[in-house]
């Protein structure tokens, strides 16, 4: 079922590998037809080429908008050579068939990203290229379609050995359709964003990209969440850089769970403007901290504090830093069993130190990290879309908070409240986060009742502490009443709650543990009860007016 390659149509924007392709095809006896600048590049390789305008008898025109859109091209691609009638018609019309089509379209997505004007972007919407790709993919029983320069080696091999077999042509067709689908979806997304549709825009102001997702398969993963689940990474065409675009500098291949955790970790760490580190397990932070003001090596300091949140759970975790990883940070991380470290960059010395560990994965984010503006969540049979929770959201500015109970916080306490309020949103709801000095010491998360999250946060604060630069003398370092030897880290600390306290009981647990100030959205029907409990205990409580569920 091989189709010998005798005549090829080549029209490529990306000229990578073009010379080798032309030479290889020519050596295999293939005749080449090409568009303008592609054709001009081929003779340089010492290969004869026919211009497509000679085939059509029509000049390329309208600034290249019309080059290959012609029956002499499309009949040559679309004729089904298994049908005698098609073969006869080609003969009557004096049209010669193509056995191979090699196209890659104008770089529409890159042009959008470059900040080009609307007219420039429009000019980069390729019409003739994708038309040929779709025609050749449809006619895969007779034609092979190649869209990726990485496959040119295979093309030359096939030309030398009697052509591609049917199975390969079918696979190539499937890749080609995926390519044009992604291309068109990117176009739909861009036009929707540019020109909008007033009616829809009024309904969903935050959803210019509602035209859909354009995904391209990036890599196969060994397995999914569990070993019996097949899995792959797909990259969103035209997306802002994120974990899917990260560059791996060292270590084993990323797993499905590594990607999920790394994403949760960068989301947590990059939520802060100041140097910050998050340590994540099972998509939840078990450590999160910002550098102390004046720290000699801020990111190493933030890491030491984040590790101290829960040094037990940090084993096997994923660490994200929002600043380049320094030598000092690497020296500490190398002693902690860690799955992944992800950061904007790594100092060369840090890479050297960490690469001594065979399995640790180092991920750099050379393009930075931005959260996608729209988030998607699959539900059975469909998809939920939402505007992503903002990094700087309503309710983040303490100047707009209302003092619901107690005295206004002093500057240091307020800074801790601001930290806790930003940090708690990276823990799955219901979430409670206790923090002194810009570092979480107890996080309760993912519970079905807020009361349990409060209990967990206090328990973790008071049992997991190793006295890093603290101990019984440090603030909040009183000896644990339970006699575990761990410092009572909740005492004198602040706490944040990702949503309101529905009853006073959860807050009371924090009060009993010695928390001195609390920030929460407010808005419960029982707010009065909750405020009374805070007042009775003499603690400070702020309402932000905004909540941050995260499921």
Catalytically active residues, by annotation: 138, 282
Judged by CB under 6 A, how many residues of this single chain contact ligand 5GP? 21
Buried b / exposed e across 115-137, counting CB within 10 Å, b at 16+? eeeeeebebbbbebbbbbbbbbb
Helix (H, G, I), strand (E, B) or coil at 45: helix
- Please, which residue, 127 or 390, has the CB nearer to ligand 5GP? 127
Scanning the structure block, which residue is given the tokens 């092979």? Answer: 144
Q: On the CB side of 221, how many CA atoms lie within 13 Å of its CA? A: 21
C-alpha radius of gyration, the chain, whole number: 30
Pull the structure tokens for residue 417: 């409240």
Nearest to 287 by CA among 306, 271, 301, 264: 306
- Coil, helix or strand at residue 473: coil
Residue nearer to ligand 5GP on the CB measure, 11 or 480: 11
Per-residue contact string for residues 468-507; x = within reach of ligand 5GP by CB under 6 A: ----------------------------------------
Encoding tokens for residue 53? Answer: 């305008």
**Toward ligand 5GP, which CB reaches closer, 35 or 257?**
35
| Segment interacting with ligand 5GP (CB under 6 A) among 127-135, 220-228, 251-259, 395-403 | 127-135
Position among 83, 93, 127, 472 found at the interface with ligand 5GP (CB under 6 A)? 127
Least distance in angstroms from the C-beta of 112 to ligand 5GP: 16
Q: Return d(Cα 17, Cα 20) in angstroms, integer.
A: 6
Is 336 an interacting residue with respect to ligand 5GP (CB under 6 A)? no
Site for ligand 5GP in 99-118 (CB under 6 A): 103-106
Give the distance, in angstroms, between the CA of residue 416 and the centroid of all CA atoms in the same chain: 29
Tell me whether residue 66 or residue 391 sits nearer to ligand 5GP (CB atom).
66
Question: Among residues 187 and 344, whose Cβ is nearest to ligand 5GP?
Answer: 187
Shortest reach from residue 33's CB to ligand 5GP, in Å: 11
Least distance CB 265 / ligand 5GP (angstroms):
39
Beta bridge partners of residue 503, listed in sequence order:
none
Choose which of 26, 30, 38, 490 interacts with ligand 5GP (CB under 6 A).
38
* 338 class by beta-carbon count within 10 Å (0-12 exposed, 13-18 middle, 19+ buried): buried
At closest approach, how far in Å is the CB of 142 from ligand 5GP? 20
In terms of CB distance, is 105 or 242 closer to ligand 5GP? 105
Q: Binding of ligand 5GP at residue 126 (CB under 6 A)?
A: yes
- Helix ranges (H only) for 336-467 are 348-355, 411-423, 450-463
| Strand ranges (E), 358-440 | 361-364, 374-379, 382-387, 402-405, 432-435
List binders of ligand 5GP among 59-88 (CB under 6 A).
64-69
CB 396 within 8 A of CB 518: no
Binding positions for ligand 5GP, 273-292, rule CB under 6 A: none
The answer to whether 124 contacts ligand 5GP (rule: CB under 6 A) is no
The answer for residues whose C-beta is within 8 angstroms of residue 445's C-beta and 6 or more apart is 284, 427, 428, 429, 430, 431, 432, 453, 456
Residue from 17, 129, 287, 438 that binds ligand 5GP (CB under 6 A)?
129
* Shortest distance, position 277 Cβ to ligand 5GP, whole Å: 45
Phi, psi of 294 (to 5 degrees): 80, 5
Please select the residue that binds ligand 5GP; options are 13, 58, 256, 503, rule is CB under 6 A.
Answer: 13
Q: Does 180 bind ligand 5GP (CB under 6 A)?
A: no
Interface pick for ligand 5GP out of 33, 35, 258, 465 (rule CB under 6 A): 35
List the one residue from 5, 8, 9, 12 that touches ligand 5GP (CB under 6 A).
Answer: 12
Residue 497 in tokens: 């709650």
> Which residues are near ligand 5GP by CB under 6 A?
11-13, 35-38, 64-69, 103-106, 126-129
């Amino acid at each position: 079922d091989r189709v010998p390659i005798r005549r090829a149509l080549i029209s490529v924007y990306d000229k990578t590998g073009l010379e080798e392709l032309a030479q290889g095809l020519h050596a295999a006896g293939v005749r080449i037809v090409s568009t303008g600048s592609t054709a001009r590049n081929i003779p340089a390789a010492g290969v004869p080429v026919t211009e497509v305008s000679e085939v059509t008898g029509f000049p390329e025109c309208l600034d290249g908008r019309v080059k290959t859109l012609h029956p002499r091209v499309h009949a040559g691609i679309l004729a089904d050579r298994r049908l005698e009638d098609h073969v006869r018609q080609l003969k009557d019309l004096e049209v010669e068939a193509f056995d191979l089509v090699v196209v890659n379209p104008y770089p529409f997505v890159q042009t959008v990203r470059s900040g080009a004007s609307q007219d420039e972007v429009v000019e980069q919407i390729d019409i003739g290229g994708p038309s040929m790709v779709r025609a050749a993919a449809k006619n895969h029983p007779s034609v092979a379609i190649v869209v990726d320069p990485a496959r040119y080696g295979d093309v030359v091999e096939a030309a030398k050995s009697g052509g591609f077999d049917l199975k390969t042509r079918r696979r190539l067709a499937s890749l080609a359709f995926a390519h044009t689908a992604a291309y068109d979806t990117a176009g739909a997304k861009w036009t929707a964003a540019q020109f909008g549709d007033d009616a829809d825009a009024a309904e969903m102001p935050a959803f210019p990209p509602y035209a859909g997702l354009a995904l391209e398969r990036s890599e196969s993963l060994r397995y999914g969440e569990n070993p019996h689940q097949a899995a792959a990474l797909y990259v969103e065409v035209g997306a802002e850089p994120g974990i899917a675009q990260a560059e791996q500098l060292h270590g084993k291949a990323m797993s499905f769970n590594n990607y999920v955790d790394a994403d949760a970790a960068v989301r947590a760490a990059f939520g802060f403007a100041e140097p910050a580190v998050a340590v994540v397990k099972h998509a939840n932070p078990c450590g999160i901290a910002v550098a102390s003001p004046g720290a000699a090596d801020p990111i190493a300091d933030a890491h030491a504090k984040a590790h101290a949140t829960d040094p037990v759970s940090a084993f096997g975790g994923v660490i994200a830093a929002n600043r380049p990883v320094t030598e000092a940070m690497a020296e500490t991380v190398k002693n902690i069993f860690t799955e992944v470290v992800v950061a904007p960059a790594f100092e060369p010395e840090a890479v050297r130190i960490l690469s001594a560990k065979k399995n640790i994965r180092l991920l750099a984010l050379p393009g930075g990290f931005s959260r996608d503006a729209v988030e998607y969540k699959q539900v059975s049979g469909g998809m939920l879309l939402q505007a992503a929770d903002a990094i700087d959201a309503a309710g983040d500015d303490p100047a707009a908070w209302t003092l619901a109970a107690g005295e206004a916080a002093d500057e240091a306490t307020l800074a801790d409240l601001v930290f806790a309020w930003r940090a708690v949103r990276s823990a799955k709801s219901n979430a409670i986060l206790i923090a002194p000095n810009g570092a979480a010491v107890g996080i309760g998360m993912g519970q079905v009742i807020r009361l349990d999250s409060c209990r967990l946060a206090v328990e973790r604060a008071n049992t997991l502490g190793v006295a890093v630069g603290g101990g019984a003398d440090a603030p909040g370092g009183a000896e644990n009443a339970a006699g575990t030897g761990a410092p009572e880290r909740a005492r004198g600390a602040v706490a944040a709650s990702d949503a309101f306290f529905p009853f006073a009981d959860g807050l009371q647990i924090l009060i009993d543990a010695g928390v001195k100030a609390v920030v929460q959205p407010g808005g419960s029907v029982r707010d009065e009860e909750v405020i009374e409990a805070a007042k009775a205990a003499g603690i400070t409580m702020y309402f932000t007016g905004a909540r941050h569920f995260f499921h």
